[in-house]
Amino acid sequence: MKIQLLFFGITTDLVGESSMSYEVPENSSIEALKLKLIAQFASLKNINDFAIAVNESYAKDHQLLLNNDVVAIIPPVSGG
Amino acid sequence: MENRTSVKITDEPLSQQDCYNFVQDASCGGIVEFVGTVRNATQNKEVILLDFSAYEPMALKEMQKIANLALDKFDVHKIAIHHAVGPLKIGDIPVIISVSSAHRKAAFEACEYCIDTLKETVPIWKKEHFKDGEVWVNAHP
């Protein structure tokens, strides 16, 4: 199934993209997605320190992804 | 019901007057306002500008959550949380939080809660630009 990945802050620089369409197996968890991303993008080795949002809400590692989910990689925020 | 919160992300200059006007109310005895300003140095290194970017739809949701929670937690009347994005120069205003209440203590507490929580949870990032380079604040690549 396909999800949309969004990158913000430093991860935009690390990956060289701000968004991409991404193929993951059915019933993938966030945890599985992180492993897949680390394997593909060596620069995301610290992704476990980053938060993940699914469809604009923070998500936990065990959450399962659905087709067409919008998944954002959220490095440490620094607003204010 | 009257809308008691105002949240906004904009690439225009923020307006303290807009925030004040939103929260001001005859039932209130005071208004507490936090204004963030761009500092000219970080760890003794001169900063030229800060470039703010946001995951805007989610940032607005998180800011709204903070405002709603603060209304629940503290005895305050109205809350405005406005954040700017884009390149900001020294002295420019990236964030304003205004809170009105009948009695001042609740407004001080709610204002501090809002800015502290915003800095922890709202997906906004700043990149510091120096004479000799730039760095994402808080990032741990």
Q: Residue A29 carries which DSSP code?
A: B
Least confident of A62-66, B92-96, B132-136: B132-136
Distance from CA of B101 to the nearest CA of A (A): 23
Instruction: Decide yes or no: CATH 3.10.20.30 for domain A2-74.
Output: yes
pTM above 0.90, yes or no: yes
Residue A27: how many CA atoms within 13 Å on its side-chain side? 0
Which fold does the domain B5-136 belong to in CATH?
Aldehyde Oxidoreductase; domain 3 (3.90.1170)
Question: Among residues 73-102 of chain B, which lie with CB inside 8 Å of chain A?
Answer: 83, 94-95
What ipTM, to 2 d.p.? 0.95
Burial of B22 (0-12, 13-18, 19+ CB in 10 A): buried
**B11-62 per-position pLDDT tens digit:** 999 999 999 999 999 999 999 999 999 999 998 999 999 999 999 999 999 9
